[in-house]
Amino acid sequence: MLNKVADGAMASNGGVHPAAAGAPDAAPLPAFSAAALAARAPDRLIGLGEPVLERPADFGDHVFNPAIFGDGRPKLRDAAVLVPVVDRGDEATVIFTLRTPHLKSHAGQISLPGGKIDPDDVGPVAAALREAREEIGLSADEIRPIGFGDPYIAGTGYRIVPVVGIVRPEHRIVPNAAEVADVFEVPLSFLMREASFSEGQRVLRGLTVRYYSLSYGERTIWGITAGILRALYNRLYG
């Protein structure tokens, strides 16, 4: 899980069929429905068949903080996160987790389901789906990957690939209590709005670092997760 708001029991009136976007008599799709996002994906997201790990590292903690790697960037380790967009009709949401306070890294922070790409994983999609199952019990059968966001270089030495996936509204969430203290959803419309992002700074390991953050109710999403969301906003709606 990598520096990762209500749960899968929320009510729903059913999904919106993406095919309706091209129907002559269909009503316009809401801007932030899952169907509208899926319709935008082919032109805006990186295709699932593309060698995403070979793309230039244009996004990451090093952009805000050029000194974060000292004299040279370390050999990067590959990782993936799932951006789980739940089909909630007119207002899609994104699932986040709150990490438990005793974890060795990013304890108590809000994250997207994800982690390092293991040797047995067939690429970023497989890793993101596996991590979602392990962390929150979300089955791959309930997720439809639609594309990649730009790889994000974390100050921890990971190259993180965001995998955007549409999640069925009737999905089931079973959090791993050892890693996840809470699972919640945030409207996609809030996350994909430039005004939602602010900049902050704090001292980490003796270095003053800058980062993006978003505050939604009592929740604050910051650091790597907020940076991934900001890069995704730039790609999808910027």
How does pLDDT run across 93-103, given as a tens digit for each residue?
999 999 886 65
Q: Return per-residue pLDDT of the chain as tens, 238 residues.
A: 444 333 333 322 222 222 233 334 445 556 799 999 999 999 999 999 999 999 987 899 888 888 777 766 678 999 999 999 999 999 999 999 998 866 555 556 899 999 999 999 999 999 999 999 999 999 999 999 999 999 999 988 899 999 999 999 999 999 999 989 999 999 999 999 999 999 998 887 778 889 999 999 999 999 999 999 999 999 999 8
Residue 227's pLDDT is 96
Q: Per the domain annotation, does 13 fall within a domain?
A: no
What is the domain count for the chain? 1
Residue 106's pLDDT is 55
Are 97 and 1 within 8 A, CB to CB? yes
Q: Per the domain annotation, does 21 fall within a domain?
A: no
Q: Per the domain annotation, does 14 fall within a domain?
A: no
Residue 171's pLDDT is 95
CATH number of the domain within which 161 lies: 3.90.79.10
pTM beyond 0.75, yes or no: yes
Residue-number span of the structural domain to which 149 is assigned: 29-237
Q: Per the domain annotation, does 4 fall within a domain?
A: no
Q: Per the domain annotation, does 169 fall within a domain?
A: yes
- DSSP string of 117-173, one letter each residue: --TTS-SHHHHHHHHHHHHH---GGGEEEEEE---EE-TTSEEEEEEEEEE-TT---
Distance between CA 29 and CA 222 in Å, rounded? 30
Which of 227, 89, 81, 109 is CA-nearest to residue 179?
109
In order of 57, 100, 119, 205, the CA distances from 235 in angstroms are 14, 31, 29, 31
Q: Per the domain annotation, does 22 fall within a domain?
A: no
Residue 203's pLDDT is 86
